[in-house]
Amino acid sequence: MPRLFIGFELPRVQADALAALAEPAPALRWQTPAQLHLTLRFLGEMSNAQSCEVQQSLSVLCWQALDVQVSGVGYFGPPARPSILWAGVADNAPLHALRAKLDLLLATLLAPDSQHFVPHVTLARCGSGAGHPGRFLARHRQLKLPSWRVSEICLFTSEASDNGSRYRVIARYPSTLPVEMSDDAPDQAP
């Protein structure tokens, strides 16, 4: 059964900038630009029938395009033995609202996610002996990339390979609600 997740792709500029952070270290498996993405909801292994149910549910999702900015770095796992190095996302209420909508929409199909949602882009997977990432964190803690508009979320499948996981988009879901103009935005002619 394939492993599925919902997320979005990164623009080439941001993906290349994040891939450029890779530092040679035998215990780290750095993600390639093609592997970089932001996961909104991990679904796990699903049968074809379950995948079809998820796709049908996502086809009725009403959501508004949102702006995202990569900001800062961090890690998951204990300091002496981290499992993941990641790039964070600037505080983003619309992104958290989209995640909450997904949880609600998929509640009848999936068990509740026990993990607190921490929006991030996985940069590297850490093997044993990776050690504390203090130097990496210090070098890149001020990381800020240009923001971009996310106007499409994707259903991905994750396939294991010798070079790490390969992610393939199996369905795309464009935003369905108009983006509200801010008070300081220029007036648009009708």
**Which pair of structure tokens corresponds to residue 75?**
């890690």
Residue with the two structure tokens 């009708």: 190
CA distance 19 to 15: 6
96 is catalytic: no
Catalytic residue among 96, 120, 132, 140: 120
124, β-bridge pairs: 30, 85
List 37, 96, 132, 140, catalytic entry: 37
Active site residue 37: yes
78 in helix, strand or coil?
Answer: coil
Structure tokens at 45: 């292994």
DSSP 118: -
**Quick one: tokens of 168?**
């393939």
Q: Which two tokens stand for residue 92?
A: 């983003």
> Which amino acids are annotated catalytic?
37, 120
